[in-house]
Amino acid sequence: MEYFTFENGVKIPKLGFGVFQINDLKQTEETVEKAINKGYRLFDTAAAYGNESAVGLAINKSSIPREDFFITTKLWIQDYSYENAKKAIDNTLQKMQLEYLDLYLLHQPYGDVFGAWRALEEAHKNGKIRAIGVSNFEPFQLENLSLFNDIKPMVNQIEINPWEQNKKTVAYNQENGILSEAWAPFAEGKNNLFSNKSLQEIADVHSKNVGQVVLRWLLQRDIIVIPKTIHENRMIENINVFDFELTDSEMAQISDLDLKQSQFFDHQDPKAVQRLYNLPYSSVR
């Protein structure tokens, strides 16, 4: 496995495994166990996914040393306050049966972001979290958070796929020492991604499939990727992307596919904020 390095020296695998929308706890545990056996060490979950405990169980059952894993989870907006965030961090550690987390993120850029961030900074300084970051933040929100706090985000996890390439935010992240991490790298197959002619032509040249080309394109943009699948053959394919390289013209060809719009929802849409706010979730109440 290859690694990126945060500004504080912590290393993170360039490619990991996501568990979003694997709702059944037994299935989550079994899926993570299979992924571990296929060589994955970075696992990304969230309090709002409802499957943190299953990820933790699979990690603890493994014979692989804890320090070889990189575990990421996220705080949900209903717990955004200094006190609630402190409780949520401890609840997650207890739920996952872990002594520390490798990366902890603010899941959305809404609510009492500053209060929650102070709790993350404190947990980081106390050794409960090795690295802290955010998800779905725009450049102006990152700048605001960085200027008025002791620690700036080390990673920004955002939607990045061929249809929503988020070039402006990725550029800001890179210019400011913040690693970019792509959620939904395959856009859940929207707009017929896996049968796209341009992507398939590139895949054929390298004797790879479209999914592998997309992951390679992201890696060559210095972006962490966390594809999700429950199928073992896909697990093998997704991690097998370090033995080829896309040319500059192929990278440009994929760049031209950018539709410059989210394939899910606009985080700046007031109605989207309302929907997230009304989700009945809190880990401490």
Amino acid at 53: S
Say if residue 14 is exposed, middle or buried (CB neighbours under 10 Å; 0-12, 13-18, 19+). Answer: buried
Say if residue 256 is exposed, middle or buried (CB neighbours under 10 Å; 0-12, 13-18, 19+). Answer: exposed
Ligand-binding annotation for 107, yes or no, is yes
Q: Are 92 and 62 in contact (CB under 8 A)?
A: no
CA-CA distance, 197 to 92, in Å (whole number)? 43
Distances (CA, A) of 28 to 24, 119, 274: 6, 28, 29
Catalytic annotation present for 172: no
CA-CA distance, 64 to 39, in Å (whole number)? 11
CA-CA distance, 35 to 218, in Å (whole number)? 20
Among the listed residues 49, 80, 104, 172, the single catalytic one is 49
Pick out the residues of the known binding site for substrate.
Answer: 107
Question: Active-site positions?
Answer: 49
Pick out the residues of the known binding site.
Answer: 107
